[in-house]
Structure 1
């Protein structure tokens, strides 16, 4: 054997001995490098082409892949450019020496990509923290997701700001059926003339602003409710609710019905101070379907801010009254509410000296109610009972001597229920009072001789949702006013009643179309009687 051949065999043995250890290092290095490339690809720091190019360079420069890396490489053999580079051993730049260990250019490029990715991640995190800090700033206003019927809610720091409201308009045709005038009656039957009007229904328009926050553990609310009409206003005893003035150059009236604050906690309950819907009779009118329509017109030839709906033909108007009231926490569906309210004058609504009047009040009106809300399967409902009392002082009347100091304590009670079962709903309500009067609080409640008149009334209402959008409603109601002891007022109203049928169609979440028919009749204690028929059609938008 020649010396040259021996040298070759020795060199081969040396290379074999060192190659085994280099293979182990290469396998480990291939695993780390392949993992790094995969991570950079998933993070989007490398494109697929860049990833495959770097992997090809790494394999080309003698690094033995791990079984995993070999499988990855084998699975990508459909990549023609990389396949050509590997199969034909395309020459790629060799290792780079930078004052020490040799760094493969592909490793250097991968490290640079990793450093760039880390910088991007740090910048993204800083931007996210900066954005979160800005959102937590009290000066940033957020908008809650809109829910139909709940208005628009904005959040400015710790304060919730809610805007809601409604607008309506109806064409109403009223046809009197004839009869003689009834003092204190609500029918227009004795007018003798048909009338057409474009008017508001029982609701005027409304824009309600509510502010809510929590301070020192106390939930606080402030409410401002503005209620303008669409017809010309006319100054009178009932302010914006007085019959209108259909004369050129007129302007609409504005009724600021709600101005109040509340403060409370879940465990203590809530105190309300300001002007809002009264406690007695409140549920009766809020359950009345004619809130969304017209009902009895009251006056159609010269419409005011609102119609009557079922006011005076089923319940006495609760009214919007200054008050300080307290509502307890709800316990097992039960809640109690009681309050002191601004006392109201006794009012001679019938006219002609038929009723007494008063303007002196040394004590407040007191009202209260108890409600029970429940749900049992498909049945849900509310049952309520309420009371009212007020002392009327210094009564004056045609049959009361001027030197007499006549007074009377008004008392009234009510009970009602509203039940919903599937698509059907029913309402039943009853009230009775002594000195309460009819239609409005203390309207004709005390006779001209200073004696109290009893009154009572009720209404029943049925509603059925034919489809998700179409709803049918029918209701009937009566309000009775009895004569006081020693009285014989034949012209005074004895009974107001009405029957109402309506169709409501929800065209959108906001817009409801309404068609309605109402028959109203008023009867006196004597022979006089009057009735009328009303047809209305229009729309109400609620947001």
Structure 2
């Protein structure tokens, strides 16, 4: 059947060609059109075959003027059926340019090539789309490969995070520098005081503030459902280092050929998850006093200068004039999950020596520790109306053994010990552009300024201490804010002590302005007044002005 149809199709084409070659009259052309109509009606031709043959016939049989002119109308004729009966077959307009059916534009003699070109274009487009999709999938697979290092979206203040397979590598830090002018207001020396008032000389310094520089590398990943991280924090200063009891935090040495100190404060690992909490092993900021210093606005400025003529790695900020320094201590600690705003933490820490900071034999010392220091804290975060509130409270205990001093040696009490204890409470409130902090601590054997500095008298009795600070901050715009704070640290005499040069009270008032020039760079201007008073009549004070920048990334 197919071969017969093809033969018929070929003969019709030949007839059409022959008619055009011999310049057949118009009547023959009409008969040919009628033949095509009959074959289409009988189903011998498909619609596409019919359109092609009719178009070729009209193209070859039309005169030049007819080809360029309007389409001619073909009459309606009667076509005999196979049974011999006559029936009407309607003829529609056979147009050279428009095809023979209304609404169909027809390009005579070009349909096969146009369809082929369209099909080829479609095939190329499909192949191109398939190739693009394969390339995209290949790129996605490559990006998800453990061998590709990607960069996470940058968030100001959160550092740079690189993703190497299942490991997040975060690098964050800060750098600061200030010009500080310190002017002593005079007075007499106070043992253990933080004011420079009795030095008698003004001093200028280009120095770090309460923060040195800091570069913190953190690697984080999850394995077997356990979130873990490794952290190394390096805190170099810009001033010359000087060897001493406080290492990089010892007063500096402004002498030629000096070099800055490298302070590796942080070296620790954490592991756990949100369900069981997080454990920490290594060296990091301790628990007791940590909220006090982290909420202190002078963390980003200078505060009390300490030794400004020979600056060390850091200034004092509000250390010793509102709280005792938390310090960076080797520890094994645990932080619980947060449940309805509550969170707890506890840890065992490397025990620290009782230290005679005031000198002159005023305080006992201890270097023997059979038990660790223990610290713990509870926090509660909640919101009332538009006021975001955080309340915290913590404790510290450590047994100081085998206390020594010139007085204890004379008394033959070299094995005397004491249990140092301390507690603190604080609150932070944030409402729109306002932020307020209130903090209080009290200790027995805790000492002042640093942990266990002058906490036990030369007679082996514990000294009580307490302190507080209040701070208010207001953001006038997103970039500009003002801060004011006042703080006090008191150290009381132990039973049996008489009045002496030992510090009784350190206090300071600080006012500062901060302007965020960019997401990274902050401009700072500050004024601080610091006073120290002894248990006898000695006292002194100083004033300092500082201006500089701190960059955080």
CA distance 1:119–1:525, change in 2 (3 Å)? same
Q: Which runs of 5+ in 2 are unaligned?
A: 1-24, 53-94
Structure-2 residue corresponding to 1:54 = none
The residue aligned with 2:472 is 462
Compute the displacement of 1:179 (Å).
0.3
Note the 1:506-517 alignment, pairs <5 A: 506-517=516-527
- SS in structure 1 at match of 2:305: coil
- 2:506 pairs with 1:496: yes
**Closer, same or farther in 2 for the Cα pair 1:170/1:22, shift >3 Å?**
farther
Q: Which residue of 2 aligns with 1:533?
A: 543
Secondary structure in 1 matching 2:204: strand
Cα 1:541/1:6, change in 2 over 3 Å: closer
Shift of 1:376: 3.3
The equivalent residue for 2:203 is 195
Shift of 1:22: 9.2
| 1:120-163 Cα deviation digits (max 9, x unpaired) | 23322322232222112101011011111111010000000001
Count of matched residue pairs: 484
Q: Write the distance in 2 (CA, Å) between the matches of 1:486 and 1:8.
A: 137
Corresponding residue of 1:208: 216
Q: For residues 442-499 of structure 1, what are the alpha-carbon distances to aligned partners after superposition, in whole Å with 9 as ceiling and x for unaligned?
A: 0000000000000000000000001111100000000000000001142110000000
1:302 to 296, 300, 310: 310
**Cα RMSD for the two superposed structures:** 2.3
Structure 1, unaligned runs of 5 or more: 31-58, 74-85, 96-102
SS of structure 1 residue aligned to 2:252: coil
Q: SS in structure 2 opposite 1:458?
A: strand
- 2:185 corresponds in structure 1 to 177
Identify the residue that residue 283 of structure 1 maps to in structure 2.
Answer: 291
Report the counterpart of residue 420 of structure 1 in structure 2: 430
Match of 1:117 among 117, 125, 141: 125
* Counterpart for residue 342 of structure 1: 350
Please, which of 271, 285, 291 is the counterpart of residue 263 of structure 1?
A: 271
SS in 1 for 2:142: helix
How many Å separate the matches in 1 of 2:170 and 2:148? Answer: 16
Change (3 A) 1:460 1:104: same
Which residue does 2:259 correspond to in 1? 251
**Residues 343-362 of structure 1 aligned to structure 2 (within 5 Å):** 343-362=351-370
Q: Does 1:542 align with 2:552?
A: yes
Secondary structure of the 2:395 match is strand
* Structure 1 residues 17 and 187: CA distance shift in structure 2, 3 A: same
User: Which entry has the higher C-alpha Rg, 1 or 2?
Assistant: 2
Q: Which residue of 1 aligns with 2:38?
A: 17
Query: Separation in 1 of the partners of 2:319 and 2:40?
Result: 104
Q: For 2:338, which of 310, 319, 330 is the aligned residue?
A: 330
Query: Quick check: 1:27–1:64 contact (8 Å CA) kept in 2?
Result: no
Equivalent of residue 443 in structure 1, options 445, 453, 460 = 453
Superposition misfits of 4+ residues, deviation over 3 angstroms = 4-24, 26-30, 59-67
Give me the TM-score of the superposition, normalised by structure 1.
0.85
**What's the offset of the Cα at 1:220?**
0.4
Q: How far off its partner does 1:15 sit? A: 4.3
Contact 2:176 2:212 in 1 (8 A): yes
Counterpart residue number, 1:487: 497
Aligned counterpart, 2:388: 380
Contact conserved, 2:36 with 2:50, CA < 8 A, in 1?
Answer: no
Q: Partners of 2:151 and 2:48 in 1: how far apart?
A: 59
Residue of structure 2 in register with 1:430 after alignment? 440
**What is the rounded CA distance, in whole Å, between the counterparts of 2:546 and 2:467 in structure 1?**
25
Q: Contact 2:445/2:455 (CA < 8 Å) preserved in 1?
A: yes
Q: How does 1:109-188 map to 2 (within 5 A)?
A: 109-188=117-196
Residues 182-203 of structure 1: CA deviation (Å, up to 9, x unaligned): 0110000000000000000000
- Name the structure 2 match of 1:52: none
